[in-house]
Amino acid sequence: MLTLLIAVGSFVGYLIAYHTYGRWISRKIFQLNDETVMPSHELRDDVDFVPTKRQVIFGHHFTSIAGTGPIVGPAIAVFWGWLPALIWVFVGSIFIGAVHDFGALVVSLRNRGQTVGEVAGRLISPRARVLFLVILFMALTVVLAIFGLVIASIFKDYPESVLPTWISLPLAVAIGFWVYKKGGGILVPSLGALAVIYGCVWLGAYVVPIDVAAPVETIRNTLGLSEDGFLNVITMWTFVLLVYCFIASVLPVWVMLQPRDYVNSHQLVVALVLLMIGVVVAGANGTANLENSAPMIASTLPSDAPPIWPFLFITIACGACSGFHCLVSSGTTSKQIDKESDAQYVAYGSMLLEGGLAIMVILACCAGVGMGGFDRVEDAATGGGYKYEARLESDGQQATGAAAWHAQYDIGKKWTDFKLSNKVGAFVNGGANFLTAIGIPLKLGISVIAVLVACFAATTLDSATRLQRYVVQELAGTLRIKPLQNKYVATGFAVILAGIVAAMPAAEGKPAGTGGLILWPLFGATNQLLAGLAFMVTMFYLWRRGRPVWFVAIPMTIMLIMPAWAMLWQMFNSESGWYHKEQTHLLWTGFAILGIQLWMIVEALLLLPRVKGVVEEGLPPLVKPALAGADGSSGPNC
């Protein structure tokens, strides 16, 4: 019953927060006004700047900020117990994460869709702009390198997700052309595309599970290459995904980004509804028992696990607060908002929905896993397919409750040995258990959840590529590197750099394609420091206008202190610190990131007393007239 109460109570709490705290920030603090001309109209080019109805841009924004973040983070954090994770997600998403996303979006909207890094140059100082852009560049390079690995690993572990994930792309393109070139509506074709995707989920599970390793083996055998060489399943799929990212990120947003994310948002809604119904049924009949499945606060941890304080705040980012979100808010979303009042719905609302997803992940990874453990095994009867067998205890009974949870998490092993397959697998397995409570077969349920994860990760990957292009172009403009100001060259630079990093082996003895893991230990703290700096930009925007800043200053302080503390622990703790392990590439990069952060904080503190009530200098007039569509009209039926 506790499982059911938490699920229902959290969603009710989010609805109340949206209509109270969110409305107060929208109306009293930011004073949103639909008479304000949006960048999507002022700079409309039908490539990046495209006025879009809020339902569609909500789909883009939500799927871009979500990705695998609200899945992997909570799946790790329940190591410390489900209660701390639950509190941080619920409280953090309302008072920190949603305020962060909302603030970054509004500030960008009122600065012609510039990224928060660009805006920092006028609100704080030109040096702050460059420093901010450098941090953005570093963070996005890690995201691009690691997310290729993440999706490739999902394809490898869940081959049934390959067909539905890729079929969604031509469907999105078809919808984009139907809406923008033929003047059709978007809802009906989107629902039709969703039906096709779910049909492919069934095909992938029961009829044509794709052997993702077969192409690699064919190429290796043809060329006589070693199995231990550069070409493997991960490198092949990573490079395929990066090629896709280049194409997707230079296309106009209406061709693929908007329709695909709109379809994906429907996919999420369907999955969340099914999961919620499963939680209601399983919670009501007692098969999902949170209290007996996982510890409320863990008393036993892996030997090398970091302390919950401050690492909870960087382990769960998406779902509570994530610096990456400010890039989406100010990088792509602000260029598509049709009217200013849509900002609360899109940014504040998306973050609350992501919090709801993270809570469902926590419940799935604890109560859901506790409903019964199982293992994937080959099914010789289907000619190379697979099936699922119950994981058994020593007495031959199926492992359920705490036994299933401990078997899934294997608490005795090292923290560093807890692989991606464990993290994603905990949610996939637990979520599939919830679906079985409403009669969905286990194998199909696993496919539904795995496809959800893969589609979300792919959305984040190509959105990050587009964002990195903007950052590269902005840095190139500052440093006067003319070739990199071209969108194709900038995108190619971003993709090639990510490919080089991703292709390397993470360490001696590791396979090629794991290079994203080299810098991955830096990402958690860096991402959250980025959130703190984005809060700083929002605070200066309000401070200069004489408006209240306490509701921004408090979360800003948290998101500056906690990640810095975590980074210092990673650098200097006596057992696994980068200094003691002589991991100089991590150590010196960490010093650089903390140095940039400190520099920006000092500049801000010196400036703060002098600029209260002093509005920054306005943007210069546009060099050329506003382009087509600046009359206030929105995109066709979109």
Count of structural domains, the chain? 1
CA–CA gap between residue 250 and residue 465 (Å, rounded) = 9
Per DSSP bridges, beta strands 374-379 and 385-390 are antiparallel
Give the residue ranges of DSSP H helices in 305-419. Answer: 308-315, 324-331, 342-343, 349-363, 369-370, 401-409
Nearest to 79 by CA among 423, 466, 374: 423
Report the DSSP beta bridge partners of residue 385: 379
Report the DSSP beta bridge partners of residue 390: 374
Degrees to nearest 5, angle at CA 430 with 429 and 436:
90
CA atoms within a 13 Å half-sphere pointing along the CA-CB vector of 445? 24
Lowest mean pLDDT among 132-136, 486-490, 550-554, 558-562: 132-136
pLDDT digits (tens, 9 = 90+) for 330-352: 999 999 999 999 999 999 999 99
For the chain, state the CA radius of gyration: 24
Give domain status of residue 615, yes or no: no
pLDDT digits (tens, 9 = 90+) for 539-581: 999 999 999 999 999 999 999 999 999 999 999 997 789 999 8
Region 172-195 average pLDDT: 92
Per the structure, the complete domain to which residue 335 belongs is given by 2-378+387-409+417-610
Question: Helix, strand or coil for residue 263?
Answer: helix
CA dist 366 → 231, 411, 453 (Å): 37, 13, 18
Give domain status of residue 513, yes or no: yes
| Paired tokens of 124 | 């704080």
pLDDT of residue 510: 77
> What value does the mean pLDDT of the chain take?
88
Give domain status of residue 625, yes or no: no
Nearest to 343 by CA among 329, 327, 323, 362: 329
Q: Whole-model pTM?
A: 0.92
CA–CA gap between residue 320 and residue 95 (Å, rounded) = 9
- CATH number for the domain that contains residue 541: 1.20.1740.10
Give domain status of residue 545, yes or no: yes
Degrees to nearest 5, angle at CA 220 with 215 and 226:
140
pLDDT of residue 629: 44
pLDDT digits (tens, 9 = 90+) for 377-433: 776 665 556 677 777 776 767 778 888 888 887 766 677 666 766 778 889 999 999
Helix (H) / strand (E) containing 385: strand 385-390
Identity at 411, one-letter amino acid code: I
Helix (H) / strand (E) containing 378: strand 374-379
What letter would DSSP give residue 379?
E
CA–CA gap between residue 107 and residue 113 (Å, rounded) = 8
Q: Which residues contact 623 (CB under 8 A, 6 or more apart)?
A: none
Is the separation of the CB atoms in 363 and 290 below 8 Å?
Answer: yes
Question: Helix, strand or coil for residue 389?
Answer: strand
Give domain status of residue 437, yes or no: yes
Give domain status of residue 590, yes or no: yes
Give domain status of residue 604, yes or no: yes
pLDDT digits (tens, 9 = 90+) for 201-228: 998 888 876 777 777 777 777 777 666 6
Question: Phi and psi of 613, rounded to 5°?
Answer: 80, 5
Nearest to 228 by CA among 528, 512, 595, 631: 512
Give domain status of residue 621, yes or no: no
Region 185-209 average pLDDT: 89
